[in-house]
Amino acid sequence: MDFALTPEQHQLQNSVARFGREYGDFAAWRRMVAAGHAFDTGNWRHMAELGWLGIAIPERDGGLGGTPVDTMVVMEGIGCSLALEPFVSSCVLAPALLAGAPVAVRETLLPGIAAGEVFVTLAQAEPNGRFDLSHVETIAVPHGGGHVLTGIKSHVMDGATADWFVVPARTRGEMDDTDGITLFLVAADAAGLVRENMRGPDHRHNARLTLDGVAATALLGSLHDGLAVLERAVDAAIAARLAEAVGAMDALRDMTLDYLKTRQQFGVAIGSFQALQHRMVDISTACEEARSMTYQAVLSLSLPRLARRRAISAAKARVGQTGMFVGHQAVQLHGGIGTSDELAVSHYLKRLLMIDLSFGNADHHRALFTLAEDSLALEMAA
C-alpha cells in the first residue's frame, strides 16, 4: 500500500502550486467574472503549454497518457485557486467519452483539446431525468446515412463555451432503459440547435440546449450501448471533481485557521475560544476525510464496474457532505466578512455547492451506492 506521489507527480504538484500562486489571484478572478468572462483564456493557454490539458488523453492521440492520480493533482490545484477553466468537461470527461469514437473524430478533436484550442463537453441532463444517466428522452432517428437528434438537454456544464457536445440520445427502447442509448457528437453551431447560456452561482458558464432535428456529426462508439462508456467517463469526471473539492476545502481550512489566529474580539484572537477551536478541528477532520475518500475514488477507476461504482458513489456522497460542512463553517467562523462577495470565502462555498450538485447529489449517490452494494453481494453469493 502506498499513497505517496511519484517524483514526477511531485513535480507536477509543485508546478500546479506555482501556477496557483502566479495566476490564482482572487482580485483578478473577481475582475474576470465581473467582466462576464467564463474563464481566463490566458490561463488556459498556459495550462496547455504546461501539457496539463492532455494529461488524460492517450499519447497516440496527442496527449500525455497520464493517470487519474495526475489528473487529481491538477484538479486539486484548480480547486484551491477557484479556477473556472473547463478542465473536467473538456480534458477529463470528453477524452473518456471519445474513447470509442472513430479514428477520424479522435484525430480532429483530441489534439485540439490537448492544445487548448477545442472545447468539448457532455450534454446529458434532461428536464425530467433528475440525475439519472439512463434517463434519455432525446431521440435520434436515422437520416441520410447519419442521425438527427431532437430533445432538450437542460444542464450542460461549461456548455456556454463548448465547440462540441457529446449528446446521449435514444436510438431504441423506453426513456429509462439502459439499453438503446447512443452517444453522438454534435457541433455547437449545428442547424436546429438553440443554446441558452447561463451562469451558475459559482460563475461557471453553463448552457441549456434545445435540439430540433439536429444532424449529428458522428456516432461515437457503438449503437445502442453508449451507457457503459458514459458511466465510466462520468466516474472519471467525478473523481476529478472531488479532487477539486479537496483543493477548495483545504484552501478554506487554511483561510479560516489563519482568520481565527488573527481576528481579535474581546481583546483576544477568536481562535482562543474553545467553541471555535472545536469547530476548526471538525473542519480539518472533514478535509482529511474528503481527501481519503477522493484517493479511494481515484484509485477505484481501474477496478471492475461494480467495485468502481461503489467507490465513486461513496466518495461523491461523502465529499459533497464534508465540502458543504467546511463551506458553511468557513463562512460562519469569518462572521460578517465571510458573507461578503468581496472575500473569496463565500465563492468557495458556492463552488462546493455546485460540486455537491454536479453529477448528482448525495441522495442520488447513496442510492447508487446501495445498488452497487446489493449487486456485489449477489455476485459474491453466486
The nearest distance, CB 193 to other proteins, in angstroms, is 16
The nearest distance, CB 261 to other proteins, in angstroms, is 16
Residues that bind other proteins (CB under 8 A): 36, 125, 127-132, 135, 154-155, 157, 160, 176, 196-201, 204-206, 208, 264-267, 273, 275-276, 324, 328, 331-332, 335-336, 338-342, 346, 349-350, 353-354, 357-358, 361, 363, 367
The residues, ordered by sequence, that sit 6+ positions from 34 with a Cβ below 8 Å of its Cβ are none
State which residue, 11 or 264, has the beta carbon closest to ligand FAD: 264
Q: How far apart, in whole angstroms, are the C-alpha atoms of residue 128 and residue 51? A: 39
The nearest distance, CB 203 to ligand FAD, in angstroms, is 21
When CB distances are held under 5 to 8 angstroms depending on the partner's kind, the choice from ligand FAD, other proteins, none that residue 6 binds is none
Q: How far apart, in whole angstroms, are the C-alpha atoms of residue 322 and residue 192? A: 42
Compute how many other C-beta atoms are within 10 angstroms of the C-beta atom of residue 320. 28
Rounded to a whole number of angstroms, the CA Rg of the chain reads 21
When CB distances are held under 5 to 8 angstroms depending on the partner's kind, the choice from other proteins, ligand FAD, none that residue 154 binds is other proteins
Q: What are phi and psi of 124, to 5 degrees?
A: -110, -50
The nearest distance, CB 331 to ligand FAD, in angstroms, is 9
Residues that bind ligand FAD (CB under 6 A): 263, 265-266, 270, 273, 275-276, 332-333, 335-336, 339
Listing DSSP states for 132-154 in one string gives -TT----EEEEETTEEEEEEEEE
When CB distances are held under 5 to 8 angstroms depending on the partner's kind, the choice from ligand FAD, other proteins, none that residue 121 binds is none
Q: How far apart, in whole angstroms, are the C-alpha atoms of residue 103 and residue 111? A: 12
When CB distances are held under 5 to 8 angstroms depending on the partner's kind, the choice from ligand FAD, other proteins, none that residue 251 binds is none
Q: Residue 170 forms beta bridges with which residues? A: 139, 181
When CB distances are held under 5 to 8 angstroms depending on the partner's kind, the choice from other proteins, ligand FAD, none that residue 199 binds is other proteins
3-state DSSP assignment of residue 215: strand
